[in-house]
Amino acid sequence: MKAFAGVLLILVFLAWVAFRIVNVITFGIDCEGHIKRAADANTVELATQEMRTVVSYLKSHGMTSGYTSVTYRTPDEDVGFWYQNLESSLKELEMVSPQASQLEKSNLLMKLRETLLDEGQGVSVTSPEGISVFPNNTVYAIWGLIGLVFGIVGVIMFILGIEDF
C-alpha cells in the first residue's frame, strides 16, 4: 500500500513536469517560432506578417502586461515592456512605404532582428523567463513546490513500501 501511495505522490510532480513541457512546446510553436521567423525574414512584408501573428497571439492570451516573476519583480520579467516592444516593432514595419529604398528596408530588418533576438551562448528569442505559463506563473510555482515535496515523500514511501513485500 505504501508503494502505491508513493507512486501517486510521485505522479503529482511528474504531471507538473509534463504540463510545463507542453506549455513550453505550445508557446514555442504558437508564438516564439513566429518571433524567430520575423527576425529571420528577408523582406518587410514577411516580417510584418509574422509580427502580426505574434501580437495577435499575445493579445488573445492576455500577455500584454504584468510580470512573470512570483516573488519579486525584475526588469527582464516585465511582460508589458516586452509586449510594447513587439507591438512598436510591428507598427514600424507597417509604416514602411513601398517606395522605401532597399537600404531603409534592410536597416529596419536589422534593427528588428536585434530587438527580437538575444545573442549570448548562441542565438535565442528575447522573451521574459517563464512566459510560456503566463499569467499562471504563481499557480505553476506552487504546484511545482508541492509536487516536489510530494515527489520526495513519494519516493521514500515507495522505497519503504517495497520492503513490506
Q: How many residues does the chain have?
A: 165
User: Average of pLDDT values for 92-109?
Assistant: 95
Q: What is the pLDDT of residue 136?
A: 94
pTM of this prediction?
0.88
Percent of the chain surpassing pLDDT 70: 98
Inter-CA distances, 136 with 7, 40, 54, 123, 143, Å: 26, 30, 20, 27, 11
Rounded-to-integer distance, Cα 55 and Cα 144, Å: 29
Task: Provide the mean pLDDT of the chain.
Answer: 93
Stretch 151-162: mean pLDDT: 86
Instruction: Examine the pLDDT at 58 and tell me if it is beyond 70.
Output: yes
What pLDDT was estimated at residue 3? 80
Q: Using 50, 70 and 90 to split pLDDT, how confident is the model at 165?
A: very low
- Is pLDDT of 1 > 50? yes
- Mean pLDDT, range 88-99, rounded to an integer: 95
113, three cell numbers: 532582428
Q: What are the pLDDT digits (tens) for 32-49?
A: 999 999 999 999 999 999
Please determine, for residue 61, whether its predicted confidence score (pLDDT) is greater than 90.
yes
Whole-Å CA distances, 121 to 29, 90, 112: 22, 27, 20
Domain ranges of the chain: 2-163
101: left (phi over 0), alpha (psi -120 to 50) or beta: beta
